[in-house]
Amino acid sequence: MSELYLPPFASRGFSRRSFLGGAAGAALLLAGCSSETGSGNANRTFANDAEKWKQYDGKKLTFITENTPPSSGIKAIVDRGDFKKLTGIDVEILQNDLPVMLQKAELDLRSGGTAYDLVYTQDKPVTSVIADFFEDLRPYLEDDSLPQIEGGYGEEAWYPNYLDVASFAYSDRLIGLPYDAADSVFCYRRDLFEQYSGQFEDEFGYPMEYGPDTTWKNVLEFATFFNQLHAKDAGVPFGVGLHLGQFAWTTQLDIQRILYSHGQWREFDIDDVQGSKEPGPTRWGDEQSVRGLELYKALFDQSTPDALSLGTVEVADAYNAGKIAMVPQFHEFAASFEDPANAGGGGKTAYDICPKGDKEYLVGKGDLVNGTNCGIGGISINAAASEDQKRAAYLFIIWATSLDVQTENLKVAGGAPTRAAVGEVPDIEAAQGTPYGTGDTGRVGPSDYPNALTFPAVNVGMADPNAVLGPKIPKFNQYVTIVANEIQKMCAGDNNPEKTAKAIQTQVDELHGV
């Protein structure tokens, strides 16, 4: 993580405080004691942390978020009264599909409304678009009248890159904390790889094994092999799944990880942590982007015949139904892949780092890396809310992103923790299997914490040089819509890769007035 964008006090670190355990215990002991509400708490002195947590007893917060397992898990924990017991604050959690959530939040925030005190801020589709309407959290981190972040605000407490992705956009204002994560990993049917490895080797000259040096070209050959088998026996799955369906952002992520694998190619010449309101000309249209699209088209040709209708959720359904042998997927889906009721599930899937770039598809001399991208969900405060609401909302943020709640969320709903320490909780650490790089790399279940099977791959994938954070630009949703539409046209046979890259370039540059 670049220190350039950390607030000056971040490097100091904050003392690790007794957080949920101690605070909750103290809160219980103090239950029934008088509580303080109203404005002016910023200047008050509290006897202990328990009082700080209770200072907004009786308030109500509204949190608008996505309808994914991590938020469902938080909702379940909130609904059973954990946060209310600690703070006396009621929290209403509203869940929607991400585009609907964004639409509601954007309308509210842009019009100065306060319908939502807390907003789920997916880094690119949400934060990039409405970053200016969120409260700067830096003063809260220095406020002695508020409980502080467990483990402090520093990169050591969180997974690599998460803090950068969730905290900033366009300035050094700290506008959110990492709340959940969807990181790409490569999921494949270990049972089929073992079954057909010899047959594959006879044809392609090397065994069908997956590891950190497996390239996208290898994946293409694996997929070709599976499709050949499928042509003879419909019981064998198709090769590889892609994310081409309705949701434009996941299509952009699908091509982004392939392009980044080859010379760490990025869409704009900007810093991905901060993003830019004026990103300038796009790199789409250059030779590397054309080669990347050629590879993507080749993968599409070895995908399922219905690939154009499969978005992220649908491709997971297809994998679960045993229709696909391999898929790059977000790690939060491991819980469903491990469901023994599914044809493709129940200990058959191995989870590994995304494939590496292949020199055949590299233009020039760049590095070949295991391009891994993500959607890091932050949690942010509506700047238009009243001072008391914002301070109460801050309490919820540090509670919801705490180690104990994230660990509990993983147990309750298969959440996707953002704190590295969750992976060090003994039973979760055990569920991950052997550390990455010590033998077989792909983790195979079954496991009581299915998502933990992906953590070894996530740890390596989301670290440098593999992680690509993606561009934060105000017109991000228009940008991904252009990319997805043109790639769909290419896959449908309406355009070749070169024309597709140029069409994207033309439209994106026009979008940004270049």
Partner 1 sequence: MAVNTAARGTSAGVDPSGPNKPTPRRYLAPLLLPAVILLALLSIYPFVWLIYMSFNAVGLAPGAPNEFVGFDNWSRMFSDSQYWESWGILAKYSVVSMVLEVGLGTLLAILLNRSKHEKLLITILLMPMMMAPVVAGLLWQYLYNGTFGWYFWILRSLGLLDEGTILGSSDIALWAIVAVDVWEWTPLVALIVLSGLKLVPQDQMEASWMDGAGPVRSFFQVALPAIKGSLMIAILLRFMDNIRIIDHFIALTGGGPANSTKILPLYLYEQSFSFFELGYGASIALTLLLVTILFGKLVVNRFEEREENPAKKDEELV
User: Where does this chain bind partner 1 (CB under 8 A)?
Assistant: 99, 102-103, 106-107, 110-112, 244-247, 304-310, 314, 317-318, 321, 323, 475, 477-478, 481, 484-485, 488-489, 491-492, 494
DSSP output for 232-258: H-TTSPEEE----SS-HHHHHHHHHHH
The least CB distance from residue 129 to partner 1, in Å, is 9
If phi over 0 gives left and psi between -120 and 50 gives alpha, with beta otherwise, what is residue 289?
alpha
Complex with partner 1: residue 18 or 246, whichever CB lies closer = 246
The least CB distance from residue 486 to partner 1, in Å, is 8
Strands (E), 194-294: 238-240
Complex with partner 1: residue 323 or 443, whichever CB lies closer = 323
Complex with partner 1: residue 19 or 133, whichever CB lies closer = 133
What's the 3-state SS for 383-426? CCCCHHHHHHHHHHHHHHCCHHHHHHHHHHHCCCCCEHHHHHCH
Complex with partner 1: residue 80 or 110, whichever CB lies closer = 110
Strands 374-381 and 118-122, bridge-based pairing: antiparallel
Complex with partner 1: residue 83 or 247, whichever CB lies closer = 247
Residues 6+ apart with CB under 8 A from 142: 9
Nearest-angstrom CA–CA distance, 58 and 139: 24
Buried b (16+ CB within 10 A) or exposed e, 122-144: bbbbbbbbbbebbbebbebbebe
The least CB distance from residue 471 to partner 1, in Å, is 16
- In the chain the first and final C-alpha atoms are separated, in Å, by 30
The least CB distance from residue 374 to partner 1, in Å, is 22
Complex with partner 1: residue 59 or 323, whichever CB lies closer = 323
Furthest-apart CA atoms within the chain: distance in Å = 77
The least CB distance from residue 92 to partner 1, in Å, is 23
Q: Report yes or no: 166 and 210 within 8 Å, Cβ to Cβ.
A: no
The least CB distance from residue 297 to partner 1, in Å, is 13
Complex with partner 1: residue 380 or 477, whichever CB lies closer = 477
The least CB distance from residue 477 to partner 1, in Å, is 6
Strands 118-122 and 90-96, bridge-based pairing: unpaired
DSSP output for 459-506: HHHTSTTTB------TTHHHHHHHHHHHHHHHHTTSS-HHHHHHHHHH
The least CB distance from residue 344 to partner 1, in Å, is 11
The least CB distance from residue 102 to partner 1, in Å, is 8
Complex with partner 1: residue 91 or 491, whichever CB lies closer = 491
Complex with partner 1: residue 94 or 313, whichever CB lies closer = 313
Nearest-angstrom CA–CA distance, 306 and 247: 16
Count CA within 13 A, CB hemisphere, residue 41: 25
The least CB distance from residue 299 to partner 1, in Å, is 16
Neighbouring C-beta atoms of residue 80, cutoff 10 Å: 11
Complex with partner 1: residue 315 or 369, whichever CB lies closer = 315
Count CA within 13 A, CB hemisphere, residue 138: 12
Strands 177-189 and 90-96, bridge-based pairing: unpaired
Cα dihedral: 284, 290, 292, 296 (round 10): 110
